[in-house]
Structure 1
Amino acid sequence: MSERISVLVVDDHAVVRGGLRLFLLAFPDLNLVGEAAGGQEALQFCAVQCPDVVLMDLMMPGMSGVEATRAIRRACPHTQVIALTSFLDTQLVQDVLEAGAVGYMLKSAQAAELAEAIRAAKSGKTTLSSEATTTLIQQKGATPLHQELTEREWEVYRLLLEGKTNAEIAAVLVVGVSTVKYHVSRVLSKLGVNSRAEAIAYGVQHHLVGQNSADHGVY
């Protein structure tokens, strides 16, 4: 068996933490390494041990989930954060993704869906609930912003939609990582989004995954 994925659960409700504890026990590849009742406690835990993935509640007293996400990502760049909440608010989704979260899931998600989101997060890949994707795109409007991408920007975006990292994109296109970072920045700017997660949500909503540039008028 490959190395288990270490997970920290952060929620101010003991009942929720207990439920997530039982959920994690059902998947042999997921390993609960800690629990925290708030953002500050989670940050203190990560200062000692950086887990692979943090399941982060957003609405907590004291340090909010958004603030904790930003602080944890600074302290532990290799730790990925999935927002796990009961709230679906456009601003909240945007804020936590901008803070560095790689996923946004509702607590009503099925266990298998959440497990897959954790596995994807470990690889740095984004998972958004369908509800979060919809609310993000509704906020952005219906203008086909992707048609403003150049051919090279589209190539980078297409690979980003496949979940590839900057290094992997650079290898495919035979360019430097710094060049890829520049094009990713341009793609995010043209799409009017602030993170790779939002860019992926845009691509899903506009059915761009698996398509080539000719299908969508990119020039």
Structure 2
Amino acid sequence: MENKKINIIIVDDHPIVIEGLKMMLSSQLGFTVSQSFTSGSEIIDFIKSHQVDIILLDITLPDANGIELCREIKKISPATSVIMFSNRSERSIIMQSIQNGASGYLLKNTSIDELVVCIQGAYSGNIVFCNETGKILSKPSQNDLPVPRLTKREKQILQMLAEGKTSIMIADELFLSPLTVDTHRKNLLQKFQAKNSIELIKLAAQHHMIEGNT
């Protein structure tokens, strides 16, 4: 068992990428690249009758979305570790890939040394990222920030701002001075860490804090 090589499959719609990866990985001790495919349907057919240790999977394929394909692969072969291998660096795509069962996410500018370490890590059961994707994930997105706690009055004013009402209109409707409304608006901007009212409303909608935006 100690001499068992890690069996790797490459799925990418660019033959030049496949050939480059084959050359680099086949030269590494303990690795064998047994197959490569350029479409999602081919890899699905293959894993139904073959055991695979690692699949390096591109996101953009001619017949499939790699993220959805990952989930399908894991249903058929739970023991197979899928590592997404892509040029896409959006945080949401990385997170969605992991949620769909991927064992890691690497960008295509990853070095061979880093690729080798990540394959070994995924084979051992770990979730792996290249340095760049690790940095992307370490930066919190607005959706990861805690939901601000608002007073009843702040909720009222937030809703009215979302309806397009000005400070003067809000002041008249709530029997407040425009200065008081502006103070509440500044507090809202601070609580949401928003630069302006447009960003404030967008963030509040993301947190489902505005009626009609749930």
- Judge conservation of contact 1:83–1:104 (CA < 8 Å) in 2: yes
Q: Distance in 2 between matches of 1:115 and 1:47?
A: 26
The match for 1:106 is 107
Match of 1:48 in 2: 49
Counterparts of 1:52-67 in structure 2, within 5 Å, are 52-67=53-68
Q: What are the superposed Cα offsets for residues 46-78 of structure 1, whole Å, 9 maximum, x if unpaired?
A: 111121000001111211111111111110010
Do the aligned residues in 2 keep the contact of 1:40 with 1:68 (CA within 8 Å)?
A: no
Q: Which amino acid aligns with 2:92?
A: Q
1:130 equivalent in alignment to 2:161: no
- Structure 1 residues 28 and 71: CA distance shift in structure 2, 3 A: same
**Equivalence map 1:14-25=2 (5 Å):** 14-25=15-26
Matches within 5 A, 1:65-214: 65-140=66-141
Q: In the superposition, relative to structure 1, how do residues 143 and 55 fare at CA in structure 2: closer, same or farther (>3 Å)?
A: closer
C-alpha distance in structure 2 between counterparts of 1:59 and 1:144, whole Å: 30
Unaligned ranges ≥5, structure 1 = 146-219
RMSD: 2.0
Percent of aligned positions with the same letter in both sequences?
A: 26
Aligned-pair distance for 1:140?
3.9
Structure 2: segments with no counterpart, 5+ residues: 147-214
Moved over 6 A (4+): 142-145
**Greater gyration radius:** 2
Q: Residue type matched to 1:125 in 2?
A: N
Whether the aligned pair in 2 keeps the contact of 1:58 and 1:84 (CA below 8 Å) is: yes
State how far apart, in whole Å, the 1-side matches of 2:132 and 2:73 are. Answer: 25
Map Cα deviations across residues 74-119 of structure 1 (whole Å, 9 max, x no partner).
Answer: 1001000111111211121111111100111111111111011111
Does the 8 A contact of 1:53 with 1:79 survive in 2? yes
Contact 2:114–2:130 (8 Å) recurs in 1: no
Q: What is aligned with 1:215?
A: none
Once the two structures are superposed, residues 101-157 of structure 1 have per-residue CA deviations (whole angstroms, 9 ceiling, x without a partner) of 011111111111101111111111111122222323334459898xxxxxxxxxxxx
SS in 2 for 1:50: coil
Q: 1:143 to 1:25 in 2, by over 3 A?
A: closer
Instruction: Measure how far apart 1:17 and its partner are.
Output: 0.6
**2:48 is paired with a residue of what secondary structure?**
helix
Which structure is richer in relative contact order (CA contacts within 8 A, separation 6 or more)?
1
Q: SS state of the match for residue 77, structure 1?
A: coil
**How many residues get paired?**
145
**TM-superposition CA deviations, 1:169-192 (whole Å, max 9, x none):** xxxxxxxxxxxxxxxxxxxxxxxx
Q: Equivalents in 2 of 1:16, 1:30: separation in Å? A: 17
SS at match of 2:139: helix
Give the aligned residue type for 1:127: V
Partner SS, residue 27 of structure 1:
coil
Matches of 2:112 and 2:18, distance apart in 1: 14
- Give CA-to-partner distance per residue, 1:12-47, whole Å, 9 cap, x none: 011111111101111020011111101221111111
Change beyond 3 A, Cα 1:134–1:29:
same
Measured after TM superposition, the shift of residue 7 of structure 1 is: 0.3
SS in 2 for 1:48: coil
**1:10: how far off?**
0.3
